[in-house]
Structure 1
Amino acid sequence: MARIIVVGAGSAGCIVAARLGEDHDVVLLEGGPDWQGTETGDRLASANWMDAMVSPEAFDPGLLATRLEGDAPRQYHRGRGVGGSSSVNAMLALPGLPRDYDRWAEHFGLNEWSWEAVAPTFERLRADLVATQPEDYTPMDRALVEAAGVLGMTTGVDTLTPDNGAGTLWRNADENGRRSSAEAYLRPAVAAGRVELRTDSRVERLLREGDAVVGVVLVDGTELRADQVVLAAGTIETPAILLRSGCDRPGVGKGLQDHPAASILLSLRPGHQEVREGKPCINAVVRASSSVEYGDIHLLPMQGALSESSPQHHAVVMAAVMTVTSTGEVRLNPDDPSGPPVIAERMLTTERDRQVMREAVDLARRVLETPPFQEIVEEAFIDAAGTPVSALDDPEAYEAWLSSSIGDYFHAVGTARMGRADDPDAVVDQRGRVLGLDNVRVIDCSIIPEVPAANTHLPVVMVAERLSAALLEDLATSTTEGATDRVLSV
């Protein structure tokens, strides 16, 4: 039985710890608290994402990011505490498009991550998902689906398929509310004594003896030794730990990607403004194709407001670019290497991404002009000051709006990506093993080489399930050669 330290109790780490704990001695280290049994925990358990978004203590404090090249840093929303970002996300479950994974195989030499290879795992995960019935749609959900039909799009699509059109979103939730990785995987494992969970235990760096990793060092200097270390600290903190540990792969921290999103604020007419307590505020999506590629635009409706505006808004339509070519980076702060990393997302730096963003915004405007939205919307505007949507007709105003308000979808990936050993930008191999170091793996969203056209929680669950099984296989083998020769088949 191996002693394994898993770093990070987020979307991936809870799964990894639970799976490995079935056969090995597992300690799960989480830098934040456990919110269970607190008022914050009660809000995070809600099926309404807005209850999480108004819980600032559940997000990593002091973590800032620039979205576009040269803009001012703004807060970066990353979940803090047990469950990580799976405890504060919108619970939306999408696998991405088959071409996303086939690109991983074709462009990065990841033959074990093609759609054919990963589809069976997604199919198994489907059994744990739920979907809101159309009769329980919010006014915004209903208007979006009906507007898509007015514009000639297909409606009633199964959003777990790659079909374009409008349909109901699946969620990681049940009748009791949120089902984060903590609820679904970790809590039963801890209750059964298979995993030791230590909160408020932030890892500073790996404990190394040459190229062998023999444990971790916490920020307070405590050394914890283990036979294997799994980094599951996420796209921001995992590369920071590797950098502080002297990992010399040039790709560490590079390749950061996220989905850029632009929001149009809506003042709704009386009778359509209600926000249902504890009920999902986003239940539908429109997937559309730009002039560049298939299925690379999403429109999401949100019933509710997360900020103040004048006039008051009651809902939001979000337009997002789902296939991204721009990349950013995560690096250590030279003035505080142990503190929050410096995040430069550099979204919309390629002409392709900017073109698709414009087409996504134009589609959102066309949707808002249809009768289903005209019936419920009193006024549409693009900022807290109430600037009308028509201002976007001016190219300069459009560019200024992007610079000041473009957001991300909290779907960051790619800062410790998978690849071949001869790929200088690769940090781990197909089984998550850090290239150039022994006894350490990365199993989280940082290893994803390109962001899929999906909310990333479900793809991360897929990655965690497959690579947990791979690690268990490798631990069961007696030689490194045997582990290398096997094919990842889970």
Structure 2
Amino acid sequence: MARIIVVGAGSAGCVVAARLSQHHGHEVVLLEGGPDHAGTDVGTRLASANWIDAMGATAAFDPDLLATRLATDAPRQYHRGRGLGGSGSVNAMLALPGLPRDYDRWAEVYGLDDWSWSAVEGTFRALKRDLVATPPAGYTPTDRALVSAAAELGLPSDVDTHTPQDGAGTLWRHADRTGRRSSLETYLAPARDRHNLLVRTDARVDRLLVEDGDVTGVLLTDGSLLHADQVVLSAGTIETPAILLRSGCDRPGVGKGLQDHPAASIMLALKPGHQDVRAGESCINAVLRLSSQVAEGDIHILPMQGALSVSSPQHHAVVMAAVMTVTSTGEVRLDPERPTGPPVIAERMLTTERDRAVMREAIGHAVRLLETEAFREIVEEAFIDADGTPVSALDDPDTYERWLAGSVGDYFHAVGTARMGSFDDPGAVVDQRGRVHGLDRVRVIDCSVMPEVPAANTHLPAVMLAERLSSALLADLATGTQRGPLAHHQGGTRVHSL
């Protein structure tokens, strides 16, 4: 049987470690570069059903990780989770699969026929059994206003948001009555007592150990060498390509293709009676999906009850507008002065005319929503920055561009820096089973392998992907098929399926 090292205990890595360790003949070592927050104040915040509490757990983020959002702006802190649970522990745990066309495009454009909608739909259907949805009676004032505003504008207001239908409806979430639930709680925690699973925290990986194209283990940043029969990189869209680059992986696509959903927020000062934030309860429970002039379902309008920053006047809620189908790409590269330090992240959002046009549409939809009676009933004042600049200022094109340059953020949905594809595709880093092109006994199982970001919050797609690729790895281990993709391709044609 095999000794398997899994690098990274985030949304995907916790799934991988749990699934592999179900087979007691395999020895699984899960390495996490950050700490275990259980039993600490940070852990308490991360467990809250209210995402604002998690965002206040600053120790769960790497303060040295910076990124530029647009091509011309200055680096700002990049919020990625650090510690058991990874970014899954610090995100809002909203659970959407994306649109069927997202996955069909993976198949049609990148030749990934194992990842078409018909191939992945069954996994999403099975995962839905563990999701919850806040009933309308549990909506915040901002949730209720969004759904009512959609109805005022003649849009559907009771859609199942797990489907691709446009309109407003209740969001599905990974949660239970006591809080948000990442892969740490749902997958890793029940597996921690297994005799064949070892979890090591504060164990950051520098690089892979490679001998004549075979990966034999990993080198930690403290100098420790760990040997294994198989290595799985689940370090995430930022750290996985950094490890591959430090390991000398020469595929030109490593670190390229970075995508995330660009989003911008309008702050709302609410009227008395509508301002309260319910402690320990979800602050986001509904979404409005819209189609732009260029694609279906490519805009989300998301309400949030509460504030993540300080403003004057004080705001009590925000409405976020996001572009969910993205064509702009950025990159992750090593810092030449600190190659083992935080990577250099250039998201380069909104660099294509298409993305910029859809962003403008999304903001326009958000403004129109705020003009409905549903929002006028609860909103005292709406503004676009911490200084209280009114929304009407966006009518001026120059003001809009300046505001966007300083305000656009990412949705914490980074993908694409080690994407799937055939060996003869220069942008591809791994094949459909996650095997790294040109290296044996190493796979990537995390969001970095997605060729494009789906039109969804990425935690649920990450779990789907980890479930399917874990099964593929187990099948290959059972048959002794651990060699890399060159052994399974002829002229770029897939021979084995998932």
Q: TM-score, normalised by structure 2?
A: 0.97
The letter of the residue matching 2:149 is A
- Aligned-pair CA distance for 1:187: 1.0
Corresponding residue for 1:382? 384
Q: Is the 8 A contact 2:104 2:116 kept in 1?
A: yes
The Cα shift of 1:268 comes to: 0.2
Deviation at 1:134, TM superposition (A): 0.3
**In 1, distance between residues paired with 2:186 and 2:98?**
22
- Counterpart in 2 of 1:8? 8
Q: How many Å separate the matches in 2 of 1:317 and 1:433?
A: 41
Distance between the aligned counterparts of 2:12 and 2:68, measured in 1?
25
Q: Secondary structure at the match of 1:191?
A: coil
- Gap change, CA 1:205 and 1:368, over 3 Å in 2: same
One-letter identity of the residue aligned with 1:13: G
2:352 maps to what in 1?
Answer: 350
| CA contact 1:65–1:342 (8 Å) conserved in 2 | yes
d(CA) in 1 for partners of 2:285 and 2:230?
A: 41
Q: Once the 2 structures are TM-superposed, how far is the Cα of residue 22 of structure 1 from its aligned partner?
A: 1.4
Deviations 1:380-399 (A, max 9, x none): 00000000000000000000
Query: How far apart are residue 280 of structure 1 and its match?
Result: 0.2
CA distance in 2, matches of 1:384, 1:480: 54
- Counterpart CA distance in 2 for 1:293 and 1:170 is 23
Identity of aligned residues (%): 74
For 1:230, what is the secondary structure of its paired residue?
strand
Q: Distance in 1 between matches of 2:316 and 2:212?
A: 57
CA distance in 1: counterparts of 2:497 and 2:91, whole angstroms:
29
Alignment of 1:77-476 (within 5 A): 77-476=79-478
Structure 1 distance, partners of 2:122, 2:497, is 13
Q: How many residues get paired?
A: 489
Unaligned runs of 5+ residues in structure 2 are 489-493
Partner amino acid for 1:433?
A: R
1:30 paired with 2:59, answer: no
1:36-51 correspondence to structure 2 within 5 Å: 36-51=38-53
Measure the CA separation in 1 of the matches of 2:256 and 2:212: 24
Measured after TM superposition, the shift of residue 488 of structure 1 is: 3.8
Give the SS at the match of 2:45: helix
The CA deviation at 1:19 is 0.5
Following superposition, the deviation at residue 486 of structure 1 comes to: 6.8
1:58 to 60, 66, 79: 60
> Contact between 2:92 and 2:180, CA under 8 Å: does it hold in 1?
no
Aligned to 2:20: 20
The answer on whether the counterparts of 2:36 and 2:201 sit within 8 Å (CA) in structure 1 is yes
Greater shift after overlay, 473-482 or 156-165? Answer: 473-482
Q: Given that residues 112 and 487 in structure 1 are in contact (C-alpha distance below 8 angstroms), is that contact kept between their aligned partners in structure 2? A: no
Segments of structure 1 that go 5 or more residues without pairing to the other structure are none
Q: Give the 3 Å change call, closer, same or farther, for CA 282–480 of structure 1 in structure 2.
A: closer
Q: Distance in 2 between matches of 1:137 and 1:160?
A: 18
Task: Give distance in 2, aligned partners of 1:480 and 1:10.
Answer: 24
Task: Tell me the distance in 1 between the aligned counterparts of 2:186 and 2:497.
Answer: 24
Contact 1:59 1:77 in 2 (8 A): yes
Q: Note the C-alpha offset of 1:479.
A: 4.6
On the 8 A contact 2:21/2:194 being kept in 1, the answer is no
TM-superposition CA deviations, 1:202-257 (whole Å, max 9, x none) = 00000111211000000011000000000000000000000000000000000000
Q: CA deviation at 1:132?
A: 0.3
Q: Distance in 1 between matches of 2:210 and 2:66?
A: 30
Q: Report the CA distance between 1:179 and its aligned residue.
A: 1.1
Question: How far does residue 193 in structure 1 lie from its aligned partner after superposition?
Answer: 2.9
SS at match of 1:153: coil
Residue 265 to residue 200, structure 1, CA distance change in 2 (3 Å): same
Alpha-carbon distance in 1 for matches of 2:368, 2:13: 41
Partner SS state of residue 308, structure 2 = coil
Q: Which moved more, 1:184-193 or 1:40-49?
A: 184-193
Which deviates the most, 295-304 or 36-45?
Answer: 36-45
In 1, Cα distance between equivalents of 2:12 and 2:387? 39
CA displacement, residues 278-319 of structure 1 (integer Å, 9 cap, x when unaligned) = 000000000000001000000000000011000000000000
Of 469, 477, 480 in structure 1, the residue corresponding to residue 479 of structure 2 is: 477
Change beyond 3 A, Cα 1:488–1:60 = farther
Kept in 2, the 8 Å contact 1:130–1:171? The answer is yes
SS at 1:93 equivalent: coil
Distance 1:194 1:304 in 2: 43
CA RMSD of aligned residues (A): 1.1
Query: What is the CA–CA distance in structure 2 between the aligned matches of 1:395 and 1:106, rounded to whole Å?
Result: 38
CA contact (8 A) 2:217 2:229 kept: yes
- Paired residue type of 2:15: I
8 Å Cα contact 1:18-1:194 kept in structure 2: no
Q: Helix, strand or coil for the counterpart of 1:280?
A: coil
> Residues of 1 paired with 2:360 and 2:212: CA distance?
50
Task: Measure, in 1, the Cα distance between the counterparts of 2:357 and 2:495.
Answer: 43
The residue type equivalent to 1:5 in the other structure is: I
Could you tell me which residue of structure 1 aligns to residue 491 of structure 2? none
How many Å separate the matches in 2 of 1:479 and 1:5? 17
